Amino acid sequence: MHRFKRIVLIVLDSAGIGAMPDAADWGDEGADTIGHVVAVEHPPLPNLHGLGLGNIHEMPNLPPDSKPLGSFGKAAIFSNGKDTTVGHWEMAGLVTPHPFPTYPEGFPERVLKPFRTAIGRDILGNKPASGTEIIKELGAEHMRTGKPIIYTSADSVFQIAAHEKVIAVEELYRMCKSAREILDGVDRVARVIARPFVGEPGNFTRTGNRKDFAIPPPAETLLDLLQAAGFATIAVGKIASIFDSIGIGEHLEAHDNAASIDQTVLALSLAREGLVFTNLVDFDMLWGHRRDSEGYARGLEYFDSRIPEIEDPMQEDDCLVITADHGCDPTFRGSDHTREYVPILIYSKSLGGGVDIGTRSTMADIGQTIAENFGLRLKVGTSFLNQLK
């Protein structure tokens, strides 16, 4: 068994790798986010290929590497869901038996009526939409009327968009807190999200003042265990909001893939021992939901080009784990997430690589492996740490 002082866990948000056996129950039979992007767009991915991405399952244009530097496998989503919160919670050892509610027809009056009362004004929108498209559509009316724009997505989210000159950011946050209190019981969505924007009609831009109001994890996670044991828990990008900042020692803010990679490299200079947990949001937000396979391919290519920057500062007793939280196949119909396996790539300068860890029954195996590395144990998951010798 090998013990690493630092583990860097990077989640390529939505980068699934093939439909799960129950995908048809979710309307996702045949989905394969990475496989289809590679087949359609042919992105050069020398570093991911060298770590063993092509060894996980057969993919056109990405053959298996005969001597991969990393170990490889894939994991099923055991939880009942296919969204960001469910995926991240499961890999941290918390299985979700019931999916969070979604609103493909918009939110019902039982939610909107108390929300209007709480904020003292009417609303616009109330439908699933792209965040950039709905402010194009309703931004001018919002500026005229002062009514906030309410929208959702395929995720379990209640999003409030408002122009910063019409509704101040702090007031928008108060509206989100009101919504968070109202959205309970059967309507307990995973996240309420403030989506401020600026600009003029025809030229609106979302700002970096986004804020997520998530529900707290209902039980102890890997992050709680690590923090209680005195190990560093550094969250990069969206991770802190997914866990409602619980179990997180330090949050490094980042709003896109480039910044998240920068902050991950920075985190390696901050943590002596513990976990760096990073989410790369652009795969899902910019390319998966918008069904942009070319953008997705360029995103994979960009991440691939920066892998050496992450590996270079790693010591012999550090370990890099690359995975995903669900699928969002940009070549698939609709704009929803897809029920897929997630890839697992493991690399350390002290390991020989080339180990096939197989198909794991749950993403909690990732968390259990990290937990065992630090002498801890989660309630669910089977560690593959001893396979990495």
* Residues 348 and 236 both lie in one domain: yes
Last residue of a domain, one of 213, 248, 266: 213
Res 335: pLDDT: 81
* Residues 274 and 361 both lie in one domain: yes
Res 60: pLDDT: 86
* Residues 221 and 209 both lie in one domain: no
Alpha-carbon separation of residue 54 from 46, 63, 190, 283, 338 (angstroms): 10, 5, 33, 19, 20
Last residue of a domain, one of 182, 213, 244: 213
| Domain at 177, CATH number | 3.30.70.1250
Res 271: pLDDT: 87
Decide if 197 is inside a domain.
yes
Q: What is the pLDDT along the chain (389 residues), one digit of tens a residue?
A: 458 999 999 999 999 999 999 999 999 999 999 999 999 999 999 999 999 999 999 898 899 999 999 999 999 999 999 999 999 999 999 999 988 999 999 999 999 999 999 999 999 999 999 888 999 999 999 999 999 999 998 789 999 999 999 999 999 999 999 999 999 999 999 999 999 999 999 999 999 899 999 999 999 999 999 999 999 999 999 999 999 999 999 999 998 999 999 999 999 999 899 999 999 999 998 999 889 999 999 999 999 999 999 999 999 999 999 999 999 999 999 888 999 999 999 999 999 899 999 999 999 999 999 999 999 999 999 999 999 97
* Residues 58 and 121 both lie in one domain: no
Q: 120: which residues sit within 8 A by CB, 6+ positions away?
A: none
Number of domains in the chain: 2
* Residues 222 and 192 both lie in one domain: no
* Residues 51 and 187 both lie in one domain: no
| Domain at 281, CATH number | 3.40.720.10
Decide if 254 is inside a domain.
yes
Res 1: pLDDT: 47
Decide if 102 is inside a domain.
no
Cβ(177)–Cβ(213) below 8 Å: yes
Res 2: pLDDT: 58
* Residues 192 and 240 both lie in one domain: no
Q: 144: which residues sit within 8 A by CB, 6+ positions away?
A: none
Decide if 260 is inside a domain.
yes
Cα dihedral 266, 72, 373, 221, rounded to 10, equals 80
Decide if 237 is inside a domain.
yes
* Residues 59 and 166 both lie in one domain: no
Q: Is 170 left (phi over 0), alpha (psi -120 to 50) or beta?
A: alpha
Domain extent, residue 142, equals: 109-213
Residue 212 identity (one-letter amino acid)? D
Alpha-carbon separation of residue 1 from 236, 351, 361, 388 (angstroms): 28, 11, 22, 8
* Residues 236 and 377 both lie in one domain: yes
